[in-house]
């Protein structure tokens, strides 16, 4: 009889802890609001940015604890550069990716960095997106983006990379890379949040020659949709 009572108590405690964890996740404003297992792009990007340090509001954040990305990123596994997982993202409450035969609408998430902490997190659509969820979309969702540099090998915004200083209320300022790639299957995009400064070689166009055979000036971006 005692054995069954102990087992019952164990499952009650386990359920209570799990339920408490879910309640915390649902009630904590720092977590994006889940909608049938999916999350809004802007909310996830804002969540991934470290909180602002009251004593140092202008400094870029340091390496981040890998564990802070639990609860939103699914199926996290180790990779040569850190960790990889997945997430289903929405744009304005709707599915962000085009319908595909695999019925897979998850984005690839890569958490990059040494063992001591993550230096960046990448959200890669991998597949074609349904609508615009670039800088214009982010600005409509409380992001303040300052263009730092952009570049395109083909001199077109259809295949380009851009670097922004991104600021969000209550969050630390971060560097944000946005990449667009357009092909016969549609347009895919990549967002990368950087925790800390970047080496010059990682700045889009810093060491590249554009389509016209010239080195594009730093902070110069000819594409209106990126500005």
- 11 and 66: one domain? no
Residues 79, 137, single domain; the answer is yes
Question: The tokens of 1 are what?
Answer: 């009889």
- What residue numbers bound the domain in which 16 lies? 1-30
Asked if pLDDT for residue 21 goes beyond 50, the answer is: no
Residue range 36-67, pLDDT digits in tens:
999 999 999 999 999 987 656 677 888 999 99
Same-domain pairing of 136 and 175: yes
Q: Contact, 129 vs 139, CB < 8 A?
A: no
Q: What's the average model confidence in pLDDT over 22-41? A: 71
Tokens found for residue 52: 């602002």
Domain match, 20 and 74 both: no
What are the residues whose beta carbons fall under 8 Å from the beta carbon of 99, sequence distance 6 or more?
none
Best mean pLDDT range from 29-33, 86-90, 128-132, 195-199: 86-90
Say which DSSP state 141 is in. Answer: T
Whether residue 101 is found in the same domain as residue 206: yes
Instruction: Express each pLDDT in 153-166 by its tens digit.
Output: 888 899 999 999 99
Whether residues 6 and 82 share a domain: the answer is no
67 and 13 share one domain = no
6 phi, psi to nearest 5 deg: -65, -45
| pTM of the predicted model as reported, rounded to 2 decimal places | 0.84
Regarding whether 67 and 86 lie in a shared domain, the answer is yes
- Whether 9 and 104 map to the same domain: the answer is no
> What is the total count of domains within the chain?
2
- Residue bearing the bigger pLDDT, 52 or 215: 52
C-alpha neighbours within 13 Å on the C-beta side of residue 145: 25
């Amino acid at each position: 009889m005692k054995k069954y009572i102990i087992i019952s108590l164990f499952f009650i405690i386990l359920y209570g802890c799990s339920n408490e964890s879910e309640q915390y996740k649902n009630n904590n404003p720092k977590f994006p609001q889940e909608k049938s297992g999916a999350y809004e792009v802007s909310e996830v990007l804002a969540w991934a940015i470290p909180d602002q340090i009251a004593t140092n509001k202008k400094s870029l954040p340091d390496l981040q604890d890998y564990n802070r990305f639990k609860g939103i990123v699914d199926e996290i596994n180790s990779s040569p550069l850190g960790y990889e997982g997945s997430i289903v993202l929405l744009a304005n409450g709707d599915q962000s990716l085009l319908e595909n035969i695999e019925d897979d609408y998850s984005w690839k998430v890569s958490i990059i960095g040494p063992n001591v902490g993550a230096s960046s997190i990448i959200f890669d659509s991998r597949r074609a997106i349904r609508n615009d969820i670039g800088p214009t979309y982010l600005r409509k969702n409380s992001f303040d983006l300052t263009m730092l540099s952009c570049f395109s090998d083909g001199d077109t915004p259809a295949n380009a990379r851009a670097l922004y200083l991104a600021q969000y209320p209550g969050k630390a300022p971060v560097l944000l890379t946005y990449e667009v790639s357009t092909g016969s299957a549609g347009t895919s995009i990549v967002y990368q949040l950087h925790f800390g400064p970047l080496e010059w070689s990682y700045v889009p166009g810093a060491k590249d020659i554009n389509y016209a055979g010239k080195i594009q000036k730093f902070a110069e971006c000819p594409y209106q949709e990126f500005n």
